[in-house]
Amino acid sequence: MRIKIKLSVILGILCILGMIVFGNVYKPTEQTYLFKTVPKSIHTPIMKENVPQLSHATIESIFQKAKEGRIKDVPIIAGETKIDQLVSLWGKSNHSAETNNRTYSEYSEHHITIGYSDSIIYDIRSYHEELSQIHMKDILTIKGEPDEERYYKDEQYDQVILVYRIGESYDLKWVLPKPTESIPNPTVHHISLVSHQNVSDQDYLSQIETMTLDEKIGQMVIAGISGTEITTDTKELIQDYKVGGFIFYPKNLTTVEQTKKLINEIKAENASNDIPLFLSVDQEGGRINRLPGNLEKLPTNEEIGDIHDVELSYKIGVILGKQLTEFGMNLNFAPVLDTNSNPNNPVINNRSFGNNPDIVSELGIQTMKGIQSQNIISVVKHFPGHGDTSVDSHLELPIVDKHIQELHELELKPFIHAIRNGADVVMVAHILLTKIDSQYPASLSKNIMSDILREELNFDGVIITDDMTMDAIENNYELGDAAVQSIHAGSDILLVAHEYQNVVNTINSIKQVVKKGIITEERINESVTRILELKQNYTIDHQQINTIEIEKLNKLIRKTLP
């Protein structure tokens, strides 16, 4: 009888603990279903210790099953099983949420959330109790450094994701709370097994095959608009020329309500097109603030660099990301990664984090990560470095007389670190580097974009030019010729920020040389693939803005600033 009493007490305690644990794990949150992947970071090595036998066996078992696309006690294979097959086994889910043609469904009784697209399950996430016994050090001790480390952060979660490649077919992601001083060795929150062969990716590739040449070339242009309302010209750029996106300036964004109306009208006009638009702005903080509505001032990058506050730099990035989200935009031309080595520089100056490339790297990457954490695309600029120029490229063509070795010692450092830490887009500047390419500025140079940025630095993201209507280009080249040369040299997107006719001429010039075979359609496809993958990764959509809460943003700024 004593034994029975003791067992019943123990079972009762375990039951209560289980309710507490699973009550926390399965509380529905936006993060549960809309897990944003943020590019990798610099990994701080953790001291490795002996791993408990049970954890060791569990980790090895998880990796072994992942090779088959499986997770323990789940009767499905990532990338193969259809959602109807799972429903026939487990019934309908407790809760589902949809985003950009993807659905996430929770099966709390099985401790599983699955993601599927076009009926194929491509993401299996397990919150099984045994995972909470595994520590970060255990994973690193048994499997070594991950292939990639990423971060996710919102108002509720601050997480690190250890990504291990499983052959060519899967990614196994271990999601844990970000280590802190008080909890340096956190336990696993959940794991996620993602198939590379998900239907959404295949659909994008097949979509490229069915796109017209006009549609492809349009995706390679981000255009400016005139005025504060959607005009006939803007509608034509959307419907007839299929441009990939728009950039906005203060002249386009005068009040909060006017901006809301403009963005919503542009999104509505593009809703009949399958591919959503990049909606972009230069929102750097400091003196470069494009958004309306009496937003409280953010410090300049120079001021952040002076105090060398890494955490503040990240938080500023979060604020910039939230600002764009509030206004319905999705791409920010920030941060500036130029090392301001010339104090007389008329265009960079306090937009830079300073004259030390290591500090620029450290702080710039954190701002980039903060922006990305809000599902906003961050564009690092101005490659290969605008900090040692003495003229403004808006007015004339700057010349930098440095060898590649000198650039590696200073200008290139922040970009190299940003690329290693998940930069999605690099903006290339209109700068003539005579020792590398005496004929063309960086934005038109194969030596710079293809040989250095792509090949030497291994950048596989999207390359965008600085505005092609700046005087550095217009005073030296015919715009159409410059556009063609830039694409030939390796750029993916041309920024044509002013005048409808400039946009049209750019598109027509590219179309003409493709038809003549001077640039192949296969070369166009390479860029369009990168562009569509970027849009897909950030789940860009046509969703309308409901309200823009300036005071909410200002409260966050006041709370963040020292």
**What positions carry a catalytic annotation?**
394, 466
What are the distances in angstroms from CA 182 to CA 43, 150, 367?
A: 19, 21, 25
114 CB burial (10 A radius; 0-12, 13-18, 19+): buried
Q: Closest by alpha carbon to 496, among 487, 505, 488, 371?
A: 505
Check if the beta carbon of residue 174 is closer than 8 Å to that of residue 162.
yes
3-state SS record for 472-539: HHHCCCCHHHHHHHHHHHCCCEEEECCCHHHHHHHHHHHHHHHHCCCCCHHHHHHHHHHHHHHHHHCC
Neighbours of 16 (CB within 10 A): 10
Neighbouring-strand partners of residue 107: 112
End-to-end CA distance of the chain: 64
What are the distances in angstroms from CA 276 to CA 246, 411, 541?
A: 11, 34, 5
Neighbours of 546 (CB within 10 A): 9
378-393 core/surface letters (b: 16 or more CB in 10 A; e: else): bbbbbbbbbbbbeebb
202-218 core/surface letters (b: 16 or more CB in 10 A; e: else): ebbeeebeebeeebbbb
Provide φ and ψ at 439, rounded to 5°.
-100, -45
Neighbours of 555 (CB within 10 A): 12
Half-sphere exposure for 483 (CA within 13 Å, toward CB): 29
Cα torsion through 251, 253, 258, 259, rounded to 10: 150
Q: How far apart are CA 546 and CA 555, in angstroms?
A: 20
- Which residues have a Cβ under 8 Å from the Cβ of 547 and sit 6 or more positions away? none
Check if the beta carbon of residue 548 is closer than 8 Å to that of residue 256.
yes
Cα torsion through 382, 384, 388, 392, rounded to 10: -40
- Which residues have a Cβ under 8 Å from the Cβ of 400 and sit 6 or more positions away? 385, 388, 389, 431, 432, 433, 434
**345, amino acid identity:** N
Q: How far apart are CA 254 and CA 242, in angstroms?
A: 26
